[in-house]
Structure 1
Amino acid sequence: MAPNDSAHIAEEDDLGTGRRRAARYAVPVAVIGVAAVTIGLVPALAAAGDPSLPKISAQELIEKIAASDTERLSGSVRISTDLGLPSLAGLGDLAGGSLAPKGGAGGGSPDSTADPSSKLMELGSGTHTLRVAADGPDKQRVSIQEDAAEYSLIHNGDDVWAYDSASNEAFHATSSEGTEKGAPGKKDKGLSGKDVPATPKEFAEQALAAAGDTTSVTVDGTARVAGREAYRLVLKPKQAGSTVESVKIAVDAETGTPLKFTLAPSSGGKAVLDVGFTKVDFGKPAASTFDFTPPKGAKVTQGDEAHEGDRAVRPELPKGGEGAGKTAPPTVIGKGWSAVYAFTSPEGAPTAKDTAGLPKEAQGFLDALGDKVTGKFGSGTVYKTRLVNALMTDDGKIYVGAVTPATLVKAADGAQ
């Protein structure tokens, strides 16, 4: 996708032993995080043929999206994501569990299978069916439907609940705690997490905000999405070096609400991300939709208790004392779709050469993602997806962007 605030993916998570251990491969796992940040709600176009609608310019359609004030809706969604990654099943366990020392907090596994910080990571690959509902900024619900179970994330006022029917476990937090954990809250920009887009409208707003003189914006006919008439808005990079070929947004002709968001990679093949509604209703959802009481016998984990053990088992700080380990703001190299964000690893943090002691599954995941590269900058490893790539040099520099590996190497060479 066009450049956005995804640059913060290299920042170190200091919430406990598991997260400090995760610094060993924060960049490659963060690549998944960025990809996960590109996840929301998805449907296939109906086969009834394209509707006949009045002509509209690209600028008029953008203004129509900006004027849309849809806050109430319910519907069904499919999410299809193909980042060209190894399976992400269990990646949440890597981030919050198997990275933690065995016998430490959490025993090397997440505190609760209902914890959103690990569960939502599963949306980073494959195809998923969701049911969604929203009634203003204080009430949202997302339910992930699985073969014989369902995972639900509910925000109602100050309460955030998550429930995993497969394990009969629930997670509860207040809005402020929930946002820190990755659940929705009052200040969130999306349904699925803090600063994480979760509807086609949120994806569209981010893409349009980044569109400028480096972007071609056109209207490419009409479509039917979830039984509704829509215009097709198409964004394409004018620059070389981006991993994005195009972004297509189906915009509801009546309300201006984006109904479908499709991101196609410059490498060709199926879409990296296909997000939209299969069914949608803009009426007010029933108030009971956002009610939740844990079933009898459910294990309930409170948000303020979830990582208490992690806080109690503090790791040794990197060299440099209390302030060490914090990353400085990134330097932006280039602009638009070919922008690269450059970081310097915190003092004492591992570099691309430092992989000793990684869990077996983590090392295998890195091996599948990484390619060794060299240049004027020296040597390093490029961690790849079909959308976001990251170069970690052997001397601790990090370059990230929705750009090709060659563009990353060029940026690293130019920074010398």
Structure 2
Amino acid sequence: MAPYESDDAAGAVQDEDLRSGRRKAARYVVPVAVVGVAAATIGLVPALAASGDPDLPKITAQQLIEKIAKSDVQQMSGTVKISTDLGLPNLGGLESSLASGAAQGRDGSSADPTSKLTELVSGTHTLRVAADGPDRQKLSLLESGAEYSLIHNGKNVWGYDSKSNEVYHGTGAASGKEHRAEPPATPKDFAEKALKSVDDTTSVTVDGTVQVAGRDAYKLLIKPKQSGTTVGAISIAVDAKTGQPLKFTLTPKSGGAAVLDAGFTQVSFGKPAASTFDFTPPKGAKVTEEKQGSKVPEHAPKGGEDFAKGMQGSTVLGKGWTSVATFDTGAKGGMPSGSQGGAFGGFLGSLGDKVSGKFGKGTVFSTRLVNALITDDGKVYAGAVTKDALVKAANEGK
């Protein structure tokens, strides 16, 4: 078989991503939690800005996977552009309300990175990133007339929101262990997640070459072999010299624009200036210290704590791209709706599709990538699978 046609099996992204998504979404209720699960898949982020087809030595998919695994870039800086299109409806005032609540963070600060970086799950954003070994990283989210920066320097983690002039400070001591503030869009980390498992549910091939941010790269194409998934394909551009992922594009099986298109528009593998990672709270800024054992915030919508507990006790049905996470919220009668659920309940009612089966009755909430079924007896089934696949999982799980 020719080098550019090798078909090595690579593991499904799904299992690891769903676990990561459950952790990230544990502070919210559906459908915000659905977006959280999608953010886990989005968590496979790296890069953008591709042009040209450089003439590079032939390489097999297995060799390219090994090149990624052996890559050990410790120093880099650059600009990343991330565009996300989950196909969510316009939430109007509800969206503003949820965003306002989330912006306060788990410790009451708009500079808390656990809430601020959830903005990346929708729209288009520009980031500046820098890294100098495992103890120094910086990520800056550029906004209209403002900037949010997350800085990890040794044991200190700083978050600064210039719009509100608020500072968030955490240390390893606050959590009882070394606190890492690695950017959520680190190319190597998420490429490794995509290739972590090897089974027969995935086709992995080398799909030619490309130039990304001025660097020659190979294109690794990952496609599900299973039916029932909403994922069409994942394309990762891998730097030919360093083995670092430079571009990531996830397209849905339904076609149309990419669910996620993220990548470097500029990148350098030189050592960033030491001052890049220095930070001193500006004069007059409100500084919030990380609280030990921070949990679900008080501003979470009613029922959020039960929902979070359920997510933490979830199990996975099936394998590969059609795996489905399931858990019990303990909320009999399904999620709040109508007058009982207020604006949130009204949104749920307008977004969901009523379904029934051996499992009973429930509602399916959909995005272009992740779907979730919430049954009337309080169980949730979620995954990057079609509505029919969710109902089938619920029937078999019952």
User: For the superposition of Structure 1 and Structure 2, which TM-score range results when normalised by the shorter chain?
Assistant: 0.7 to 0.9
How much does 1:152 deviate?
0.6
Correspondence for 2:245 among 224, 243, 258: 258
Quick one: distance in 2 between partners of 1:12 and 1:350?
A: 24
Correspondence for 2:47 among 42, 50, 53: 42
How much does 1:117 deviate?
2.2
Quick check: 1:77 aligned with 2:80? yes
Quick one: distance in 2 between partners of 1:309 and 1:211?
A: 35
How much does 1:227 deviate?
0.3
1:111-260 superposed matches below 5 A: 111-175=108-172, 177=174, 185-186=179-180, 190-192=182-184, 198-260=185-247
Distance 1:72 1:367, change over 3 A: farther
Correspondence for 2:383 among 401, 408, 413: 401
Correspondence for 1:344 among 299, 303, 328: 328
Distance 1:316 1:203, change over 3 A: closer
Quick one: distance in 1 between partners of 2:125 and 2:311?
A: 35
Quick one: distance in 2 between partners of 1:179 and 1:152?
A: 24
Quick one: distance in 2 between partners of 1:12 and 1:224?
A: 33
Quick one: distance in 2 between partners of 1:318 and 1:296?
A: 37
CA contact (8 A) 2:165 2:286 kept: yes
Matched AA of 2:207: D
In the alignment, what sits opposite 1:272?
259
How much does 1:202 deviate?
2.0
Distance 1:168 1:41, change over 3 A: farther
Matched AA of 2:146: A
Q: Secondary structure at the match of 1:118?
A: helix
Q: Secondary structure at the match of 2:195?
A: helix
In the alignment, what sits opposite 1:97?
101
CA contact (8 A) 2:25 2:33 kept: no
Quick one: distance in 1 between partners of 2:280 and 2:163?
A: 16
In the alignment, what sits opposite 2:69?
66
Aligned residue pairs: how many? 378
Q: Considering only aligned residues, what root-mean-square deviation do their CA atoms show, in Å?
A: 3.4
How much does 1:114 deviate?
1.3
Quick one: distance in 1 between partners of 2:305 and 2:183?
A: 35
Matched AA of 2:15: N
How much does 1:79 deviate?
0.4
How much does 1:74 deviate?
0.3
Moved over 6 A (4+): 11-14, 305-311, 315-319
How much does 1:171 deviate?
1.0
How much does 1:27 deviate?
3.6
Quick check: 1:293 aligned with 2:280? yes
Quick one: distance in 2 between partners of 1:255 and 1:179?
A: 35
How much does 1:408 deviate?
0.3
Quick one: distance in 2 between partners of 1:179 and 1:29?
A: 29
Distance 1:398 1:161, change over 3 A: same
Quick one: distance in 2 between partners of 1:352 and 1:308?
A: 24
Distance 1:391 1:13, change over 3 A: closer
Distance 1:309 1:233, change over 3 A: closer
Q: Secondary structure at the match of 2:159?
A: strand
- Gap runs ≥5 in structure 1: 100-105, 193-197
Matched AA of 1:68: S
CA contact (8 A) 2:313 2:327 kept: yes
Quick one: distance in 2 between partners of 1:58 and 1:29?
A: 36
Q: Secondary structure at the match of 1:249?
A: strand
Matched AA of 1:129: T
How much does 1:203 deviate?
2.1
Matched AA of 1:169: E
Distance 1:55 1:405, change over 3 A: same
Distance 1:274 1:286, change over 3 A: same
CA contact (8 A) 2:158 2:168 kept: yes
Write out per-residue CA displacement over residues 108-137 of structure 1, whole angstroms, 9 at most, x where no aligned residue.
998222122221111110100110001112
TM-score by length of 1: 0.81
CA contact (8 A) 1:92 1:118 kept: no
In the alignment, what sits opposite 2:371?
389
Write out per-residue CA displacement over residues 5-46 of structure 1, whole angstroms, 9 at most, x where no aligned residue.
3434557999xxxx5xx5xxx242211112223144432213
In the alignment, what sits opposite 1:102?
none
How much does 1:389 deviate?
1.1
